[in-house]
């Protein structure tokens, strides 16, 4: 079954023709825990012109040892406007290698977004996920492709990335750095001045509540390191696992 998933994932990568990081975006990890259920809240705000704010609420489930699925609703605010329903998203993550069996754990993400505004089309995001560890240091790196279909205005497939490094000090508190970026058209990147790159310090943790329940969190303050990026972005994710 895993080989079939890997084949389908590879075909999806070839069929796509970028991935603009939203303020509430988070770094995907390739691992899946069978039977795990979670209520997931994400929030992010960027001091772009105008300011952009996003919040999402979702429910996820580990169907088996290699497939995690999640559905969530997204709200957005631009400038001084009110926070309004913006889109429905359906996310599926596939773990393609057994955790710890190889030097690098590998997964694959697919995400479909159906915006409230039909003129925006349907957005498909796919990409491979990578994770490795050196003692207490965990490193993640993801390459993502994003394409909108049936939009009023056509757009190319764009390329983006995510990465993070964290030091597992203790389960309740870990620290590190995160980064997000988008380069423009997947096969013809934008000029450096038009690319968006952010990075900054991050904190992570998991607080056990008993009865197989826990609260897991991560948050980051990201700084723009390119002209096209917002100067400051704050993002937060909190999950109730049960």
User: In the chain, how many domains are there?
Assistant: 1
DSSP secondary structure of the chain: -HHHHHHHHHHHHHH----PPPTT-----S---TT-EEEEEEEEEE--SS-EEEEEEEEEEE-SSSEEEEEEEEEEEETTS--EEEEEEEEEEEE-S-TTTSSSEEEEEEEEEEESSGGG-EEEEEEEEEEEEETTEEEEEEEEEEEEES-SS----EEEEEEEEEEEEETTEEEEEEEEEEEEETTSPPPGGG-EEEEEEEEEEEEEEETTEEEEEEEEEEEE-STTS-SEEEEEEEEEE-
- Whether this prediction's pTM lies above 0.75 is answered by yes
**What pLDDT score was predicted for residue 8?**
42
Owning domain of residue 75: 2-241
Q: Which residue has the tokens 């070839």?
A: 14
Nearest to 30, CA basis, from 184, 159, 138, 185: 138
Q: What is the pLDDT of residues 17-58, one digit of tens each?
A: 334 579 999 999 999 999 999 999 999 999 998 999 999 999
Peptide bond into 50 cis (omega under 30): yes
| The pLDDT of residue 161 is above 50 | yes
- Tens digit of each residue's pLDDT (9 = 90 or more) over 77-87: 999 899 999 99
Per-residue pLDDT for 7 more than 60? no
| Per-residue model confidence as pLDDT tens digits over 206-216 | 999 988 899 99
The pLDDT, as a whole number, for residue 17 is 38
- Looking up residue 183, the CATH number of its domain turns out to be 2.40.160.40
pLDDT averaged over every residue in the chain: 92
Residue-wise pLDDT for 106-139, tens only, equals 999 999 999 999 999 999 999 999 999 999 999 9
pLDDT of residue 19: 46
- Cα 113 from chain centroid? 13
């Amino acid at each position: 079954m895993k080989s079939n998933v890997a084949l389908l994932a590879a075909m999806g990568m070839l069929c796509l023709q970028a991935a603009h990081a939203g303020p509430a975006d988070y770094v995907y990890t390739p691992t899946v825990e069978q039977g795990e259920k979670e209520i997931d809240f994400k929030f992010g705000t960027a001091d772009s012109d105008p300011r952009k704010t996003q919040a999402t609420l979702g429910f996820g489930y580990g169907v088996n040892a290699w497939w995690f699925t999640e559905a969530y609703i997204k709200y957005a605010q631009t400038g001084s406007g009110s926070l309004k329903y913006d889109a429905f998203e359906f996310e599926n993550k596939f773990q393609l290698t057994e955790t710890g069996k190889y030097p690098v754990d590998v997964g694959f993400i697919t995400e479909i977004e159906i915006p409230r505004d039909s003129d925006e089309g349907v957005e498909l995001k796919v990409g491979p996920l990578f994770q490795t560890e050196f003692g207490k240091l965990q490193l993640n790196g993801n390459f993502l492709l994003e394409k909108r279909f049936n939009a009023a205005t056509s757009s190319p497939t764009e390329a983006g990335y995510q990465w993070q490094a964290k030091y597992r000090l203790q389960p309740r508190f870990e620290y590190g750095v995160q980064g997000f970026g988008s380069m423009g058209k997947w096969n013809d990147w934008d000029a450096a001045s038009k690319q968006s790159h952010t990075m900054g310090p991050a904190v992570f943790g998991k607080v056990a509540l008993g009865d197989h329940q826990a609260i897991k969190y991560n948050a980051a303050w990201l700084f723009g390191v390119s002209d096209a990026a917002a100067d400051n972005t704050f993002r937060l994710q909190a999950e109730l696992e049960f």
